[in-house]
Structures are given as C-alpha cells and as structure tokens.
Structure 1
C-alpha cells in the first residue's frame, strides 16, 4: 500500500522536505498507518471539492464507528455504518474509503478498536469493488494481513465474491445490519424440493443463489456444471403472489427480506443425460415429473396402464389399487374418456410383470417412460383460447430454453412454435371481465415482419417437466 500511497495520495509537506535514511523510510509508511487525528482533506488527490468534503466526513464517521472518537448524540453504530456504506455508493469515493480503513487498521494501538475497522472492511469488500487501480494493492494487503488477522481472510473471500458476482450494492435492511454488528452473519434457510423434501443450509451475508444451487446439486451427486445450470432457485412470496427464478449471481440476503417468502428448487432444463445414482436425485425428479400434465392419447391404453402401475409401485404399495388410486394415476384430462375397466385389467398384468420392483426402480422407470412423451422438458401451461389458432378445447402451451410451442392435447398436433431468439416482448394482459381469465401477449419476429399472438390462460403459474 505504500507504493499506492506514494503514487496517488496527496503529498504532505513533511514528506516532501524530509531527507535522510530514517526519515525517508518512516515518512512513506506513515501515509498508510493509523492516525489519532482526523484528516483535513482526502487521502487521495480528489479534484472535486464536494468529494473532498465527503472524504473528510467519511474518515470522521469511521473514527466514530471504530471508537477512536466519541459518537455524536443520536447516532449509534448502525447509523454510522449506514452512513459509511451510503458514501461508498458514490463510485469515485470508494478507493478513498478503502484507503482510509486500511490506514486506520494498520498499526492501531487498541486491538478492540482495530477489530471494528476490520469488521467494516469485511463488509465493504462484499458490497462494493475498488477500482482496478487499487485492486492489486488491496489484494496484496489482505493477503499479507491474513497471516495474523482472520477478518483479513474473510475480507479476501468477500472481495473474490465481489469480483465474481459484482457485489451486493443494495444496502442491507436494519435487521440484517443489527445481526452483523452482533457478529451473527450465518442464517439457516430451507429450500423446498419437489415431493415435499426440504433441504436445510446455512447462508452468510454474501452468499449468492448459484453457490447454494451448486451445494444442493452436490447433495444429489450432480457434479457436471452443465447439469447444475439446468436447475434454478425460485423465490415464492405468500401463496404464490410472486414467483420468479433467481439469477445465479443474486445475493440471497438481498431478496429474502420478507417473512412470507420461501425458496424452492426444480429442474428447468433436460439437455444433459439423466443419471439415477442418488436416492434424492431419483425422488425429486420423480415428484417433479409426476406433477405435470401428461400428453397421452386416450387410445394408448397399454402406456396408461404401465404408467399407472409404476406410480403405484413408486408408493411401495403391493396391494391391488383401488378405483380412487387408479383415477389418481390417470391424467385428469383423460379420467372420464378412457375405458377404466380395460386399463385396470392391463394395470394388473403390468403389476404382476413388475413383481419385485423397488420403489426407486419404479420411479426411475416412470421418468424414463415420461421422457418419451411430447412436451417433456417444457414448462407447461393450460391455454383456453389463442388468437390465431382454432382449438377444439383447452390446449397446452410449452416453454423451454429454445421455444414456446402450442399443442392440441387431443390430436397431439403441434399448432405453432415461436423461437425465443425471435421473442421481442411478453406482456401480461388483465382479464376483460371481472371473472375472466388473464392473457399473455407475445410480440415476436423481425423489425421488418413483426407478429403478435395472445393466449388466454386460466392461471399464470405453470408446471415444469
């Protein structure tokens, strides 16, 4: 840091006139060492007078937070911490404040006050990155200090996260700030998986969604980065008023601020090869696949019977399924269209053939069978009406990472397809009538040939397969 200070700090008169061996070595070091006197101007040569004034204010707030100066009436630790972080939102002040903290924790005579400075630095490194000019000097300072200071190692980890994910930037809410001041930086969260399974994990101040997703996938023996990318965390508020996927670089403590929000995970992509070498992997995939509408013809009685038998065995049931069981195993759209007596007979034959099949084997076979059906790999929505296509009844709208497609479930005919790369805008339409259904309008195509299509939906949320 001495090298950085000699290049970019203001040069005190004392330093300019000092000569001689001892003074030459001592004076540059003093630029980045603790001082008990407040600064009268910024450390870095700032040309803007307003920023110079803010730099003086930040140094005073830092000294008050560290306990080197008495706090003004009505200002506590949390107010001072907010004041410092708010000043850091001004990008041109960040290097200055970084240098101020480094100066005050270097050679501080009182360990408890020094620890407060390090505590702030560990917070600062996770919220705001320094300039590319300061970065190598800051990194070297943290590496050298990490040999004796645990918070220096923590700051280094936070800085690495900031470089990778961009920093939190959005200031924490008072509850989190209060917990931080008390040293409580770990928080237990539940992630709800398909099938009612809950995964518990601890997150910290700067944990991002992608890190938790990697950890969760690791518990299911998913090591391939490509397969990890096919999973997502979803933030759900209340009873589903808000449902949105989280980006891998989103900081969880910035989005999980309300008491009525919960985290859910499910698979969105199905391009990589499935593997069934982990019990949790099998059960969560089975639960997700089983929840979606199956696009099966009423005439495909052998397939319907096989799928029903596999569902029955997946529950570890060995007895004969009841009429209610059979109805639960059939797609709702076909429950009153199929010949149930015929399917019951075929299901009985399938159960005898599968005698000895374990629950996990049945779940695996069910997933493999469903993978061959249309719309596998799509998030599926029921569509009541479409602007450009005449459907004999409700249709299925499928969404994956490449296309949006519309399919007639009765004929299994593909009615239309829109490539996501052609999509220009998606707009949610309010119901035309008080008891009406919402709509979804898609604008797609090129600038020379724009096209529009809208769908009437009975619900906004979909099922992913």
Structure 2
C-alpha cells in the first residue's frame, strides 16, 4: 500500500498525469479510503507535507493543502507525529489560510474523533471548490426556525452552543439541557444527536430535518430573552394540550386561568371564541368539563389579568405548569405496561435521573427506575398486527435483576433518548449503534 500513496498523491495534485478514466474525485476517495487504515495515516501526513513544502507550482500546492485540510478533519496522526504536524501547521499559518483551517480541523478531530464515514461526492466537490458552507435550519418549538451555516467538520455541540447563545443562554450547564434531534420523514426515525456528531455526516438528504427542544429542566429558568420565553412556552404548552402533564381535569378555576393565560399569550384583543376555548383545553379533558362554565370563568380571569403583556402571560403559564408532577420530564403515552394493571394508558416521564410511570386517572406514581440502574434495553416487535412496538428494560442489581416492558408508538425514540441521557458513557454507548439515515 505504501508505494500507492505517493503516486496517487502526485496524480491528485497534478504533479503526475492521472490514470485513464480517473478524475481528481476518484483519486481523493482512493487516498481517503487508503488512510482508513491506521497504519498508513502517518505516512500520508508525511507525504503530503513533503510534497507541499517548497512546491514551485502554486496551483498544485493549493491542491495538496486542500487534501491536508480535508485529511485533518478525518484522521489524526499518531501521538508521536502529532507535535511535528502541529508545528508545521502553526509555522505555515501566517502565510497559508488552509493551514489555519487545517489546525481547526485537527483540533476538532482530536476533540471529537473525526468524521467516521466518507462524505458524498457532492460534498467533496464543494469542499474542493471552496464552497463547503451549507445552510441548516433547526426547528424549535412554536414554529421558530434557527438558520445557521455549517461546514464539512461542524459538530452538533458547536451548533447547539451557538443556537443557545442566540437565546441568551451562556451557562454551559444549561446548554447541555438542550438537544438537537434528527427526524427522518414523517417520524419513522427520531433520535437525539450526540454533541460530537458531525452534522454533514448525518443530515444527508432532504428527507431529514433537525429539531431542538429542552430535555432537562434542572437549571433555573430565566425569562430575559423573547425567543427563550417563546420557545419554552411553546414546548410546555404542547405537552399540556396533548394531555401529557395531567391526566384528570383540575378545578374549573385552574383550567380557566390557564385558558386565559393562553389567550393573552396570543396577544388577542377580542374575547375568546368557542373554537378558542376548545383549543385551550387538553383534548383528553374536554369531555370531563363543562365548557360554558370554563368560558365564563375565563372571561373573569381575563378581566383580572388586564395589563399583562403576552410575554408576562407566557411566563405565568410556565410557572403554573411547574406545579404539575410531570413538569420537567419528557413525557410519552404508554399503551401497556407489564406488571401494572391500569385502567388505560399510562404516562411515562423521563429525565436525566430516572424514568417514572404515572397513572393519569389517579395521578399516582406507579413505578420509578433510576437510569443508573439500567442494565440493558431491548426493542420489541409489536405483539399484535398493526400494534405498537415495545421496549424491554432490564434493571436492578445482579442479585435482584428485574424486567419491565412498555408498549408505545415511540418505543424507538424512547430507546434512543434513554441512551442519550446516560451521557454516552462507554458502558452505555456500547449497547446500541445508531441506525443509518441514508
């Protein structure tokens, strides 16, 4: 293999003629595939640096630098060679822009591990033309879109930190409470992105969208930025209206107060209509309440809340939701649970510490499992035709192992999210490999 490297390198740079029927893209893939073998990487670094040092032809030298800039984003040199490569890039940086980029790419590779899969041909062509910047849209709760430019070696954690900064979030601990999610198609695959994942490696076609939401609520909330307030309100409101925060109807006055806050949050100047009132009550509760009474009480609440701004109303709504038992959890509706006999679906709450199951009728917590006690997760096929898939959880100590299975449509998403919340430790990451998105 060693004798192939110099020839392919010089052919790519234009110092030797290309083989018949081969273009620079073919040669570049050949070089990158060769260097997927760890034993060849140091040789490749040495050959490229040797070839571009003092090269008499600027155009050919620029191709060599492009290759080195790309290579540093995929594969690190050995610890023995690293100081020499770093010194070369630092010495070349003042006069060579691609040396500065190579330094940045190499720093990312050392920190995040480098891109694991080779890019599609279109991305490589854009990189070689200096057109590696790509627009990605991140969809936040409430219909807010955050647009940002990513490059060949941009990782999810960098984009998440940038997005949070635009919402006034500067505490690193709070940034970690948000996550980017990939959604394939209409939801056939939903999974969180690890901070070290390279966005261009996973957002590979138009059938994949990127979303963001808050997963943990441990850091104190601060409503000092309108987008921060609006996205938090939209996320909490969505869970409330889907019936994920309460299972049974509270007092009429509480429902009316929440309806009034929603109406004010819309900045509506007119009284709520019949349709508005339906929109303000969770669908799971509408059959349990007298809508005429709720509408009358809502009118009284609105008169008392005169002078509240839409943002004040949204903050008050969130504060009211914080009193509910499942606030701060990511909530799923579970159709069936082994070991538990419930009159209907249960609500499952998930945060960084534990998983809980609540009977929505009695609002009683039926089960709590610490995530640190989980030993194994296993996806189950539907038990019945057209049924929902399942997730089996093995937990507890070796002396007292326990098993529980859950049946829910979002079993795969729950599976991915549990592993993500385990912080990607070596012990948990080995349980599961993310499925291909192509």
Structure 2 length as normaliser, TM-score? 0.91
Asked whether 1:89 is paired with 2:40, we answer: no
Which has the higher mean CA deviation after the structures are superposed, 340-349 or 255-264? 340-349
Find 2:211's aligned residue among 264, 275, 292.
264
Aligned-partner SS, 1:146 = helix
Choose 224-233 or 367-376, whichever is displaced more. 367-376
Q: Counterpart of 2:305? A: 354
CA distance in 2, matches of 1:435, 1:167: 41
Matched residue SS, 1:406: strand
Show the 5 A alignment for 1:47-196: 54-196=1-143
Conserved in 2, the CA contact under 8 Å of 1:299 and 1:338? no
Which of these residues, 152, 172, 180, is aligned with residue 225 of structure 1?
Answer: 172
Cα deviation, residue 109, structure 1 = 0.7
Q: Which blocks of at least 5 consecutive residues in structure 1 are unaligned?
A: 1-53
The correspondence for 2:399, drawn from 442, 448, 453, is 448
Corresponding residue number in structure 2 for 1:42: none
- Kindly name which structure, 1 or 2, has the bigger radius of gyration based on alpha carbons: 1
Asked whether 1:428 is paired with 2:428, we answer: no
User: Quick one: distance in 2 between partners of 1:314 and 1:246?
Assistant: 31
Aligned-pair CA distance for 1:199: 0.9
* Aligned mates of 1:153, 1:437 — CA distance in 2: 52
**Which deviates more from structure 2 when the two are superposed, residues 403-412 or residues 433-442?**
433-442
Candidates 310, 316, 339, aligned match of 2:261? 310
SS in 2 for 1:147: helix
Instruction: Report the CA distance between 1:342 and its aligned residue.
Output: 2.6
User: 1:414 is paired with a residue of what secondary structure?
Assistant: strand
1:110-129 CA-partner distances (Å, limit 9, x unpaired): 11111111110000111100
Per the TM alignment, residue 459 of structure 1 is displaced from its structure 2 partner at its CA by 4.7
Specify every segment of 5 or more residues in structure 2 that has no aligned partner in the other structure, as ranges. 418-438
Between the aligned partners of 2:345 and 2:106, the Cα distance in structure 1 is 52
What's the CA shift for 1:306?
Answer: 1.0
Shift of 1:166: 1.1
SS in 2 for 1:311: helix
1:342 to 284, 293, 303: 293
Between the aligned partners of 1:168 and 1:279, the Cα distance in structure 2 is 36
Q: Residue deviations 1:429-449, cap 9 Å, x none?
A: 222222323222211111221
Q: How many residues align?
A: 410
Query: How do 1:243-258 residues align onto structure 2 when only pairs under 5 Å count?
Result: 243-258=190-205
Superposed counterparts of 1:232-247, under 5 Å: 232-247=179-194
Q: CA deviation at 1:458?
A: 4.7
Give the corresponding residue for 1:51.
none
In 2, are the aligned partners of 1:296 and 1:373 still within 8 Å (CA)?
no
Higher mean Cα deviation, 335-344 or 123-132? Answer: 335-344
Q: Distance in 2 between matches of 1:135 and 1:459?
A: 45
CA drift of 1:402 comes to 1.0
Q: 1-side partners of 2:378 and 2:35: how far apart? A: 37
Q: Distance in 2 between matches of 1:181 and 1:111?
A: 15
Aligned-residue Cα RMSD (Å) equals 1.4
Tell me the SS of whatever aligns to 2:73.
helix
Secondary structure at the aligned position of 1:179 is classed as helix
SS in structure 1 at match of 2:288: coil
Q: 2:159, 2:308 → 1: CA distance?
A: 34
Aligned to 1:20: none
Q: How big is the shift at 1:319? A: 1.7
Q: Which residue of structure 2 aligns with residue 211 of structure 1?
A: 158
Residues of 2 paired with 1:294 and 1:451: CA distance?
Answer: 28
Tell me the secondary structure at the aligned position of residue 425 of structure 1.
Answer: strand
Q: How far apart are residue 82 of structure 1 and its match?
A: 0.7
1:158-194 per-residue CA deviation (whole Å, 9 max, x = no partner) reads 1111111111132111111122222211111111111
Q: Deviations over 1:73-132 (max 9, x none)?
A: 021100110111111111111111101111111111111111111110000111100111
Q: Give 4+ residue runs of structure 1 displaced > 3 Å after superposition.
A: 458-462
Residues 118, 151 of structure 1: 8 Å contact kept: yes
Instruction: Tell me if 1:277 matches 2:227.
Output: no
TM-score, normalized by length of structure 1?
Answer: 0.86
